[in-house]
Chain A
């Protein structure tokens, strides 16, 4: 269904032009179909480490976030969005996984010299090398990571990616933090864990020891069966399934067990807001879904059959149900969940739809295994007290105009 998209068609047309150039340069046709072969040198190179076809140009949407990041006290933004509209399965390719680094370029960490220290309220403070961590029993689990600021926003200029591009889903491989804590021996009175990060901004974040002991929190070194990429935390990061992305520190150097939350530099600001509620107001993200085709920034190539597709996820466990409305929320129909619906992982859904021309508003609604239902913008505003609040999981409506343009309907 992706081939139907106008943007993809344009890319193909561009690619077609490039193919003609290749032909002129003298690539040999195969006998059967008149196809050109990849030049021999390049073909050999690609045998060592593959590369996508030169006809594929999908890339992260990089942001000049200077204004945005000033809210966090960062003069520089190192942010880039997942091209969600081009993602065909639940796994986000690591090179396309969103980046939000608050002004930190990735530190250039030599894995042979990197250490992870477990300290604080533990019986046996321990320092591990990466090799030692890899000798411990590892697990591989598929989980999304989402920035807390990823949310629908009002304004026709917002596309699928600018509203929902700060989420990605990977298979993470690493050691359960609970195992490392058992090796170190947690002392009585311990209540919190402070993750400590390398990098210029030396980020540190507190989260409840209870989550660390649950067994699903990982000290991860693998992302989609490869070492984690530098922008996503090489060589070690925290993966705290279901929790907001801000806790899942990259370039992890320390785990400190404490009896109190630290409220560090990085936990001030937007992360502890006016509500004067505990840090623990926003641990898990609520049930969420978004239609990725047709979606804001795209254009329908014509009337007739289209397959609505999208992703759903929840910080509370697995996605149980996704409903789709094609009439602005008046009626809803169950979408088909496609592929695995794993806990705290992106889950694909699809729904057949015929566009007869004219205006339409499409939206999706997720229900998770706990029975929590994705709220409308109005319900969300009522819950959080302020529409523009971060931590948003409200329903995203997309408006189809009579010429097939898809716009943000908030």
Chain B
């Protein structure tokens, strides 16, 4: 212990600090988390516009798109939260649910227009 006090430690490296491979190595899970939060904000904005200017196809399109996106990423977390899908399938879960989301998006959009 006495010896340790004399040694000057370097403060902990943060994730990505001095790391030339920072972005290439960002795993899909982090993007999934980040983009879900961003899509949540986008939903608030588009929902606000949608309520003030109803029945505008462009706004409906954007709102449905962000909601689908948010739902896909949310379902991913829910499925893992309750142990319904094992976490080792997390990457497949993102892809699979995204594909499902696109299909549902097209069905709903075709249903409206």
Bind each other? no
Interface residues of B (CB under 8 A from A): none
Interface residues of A (CB under 8 A from B): none
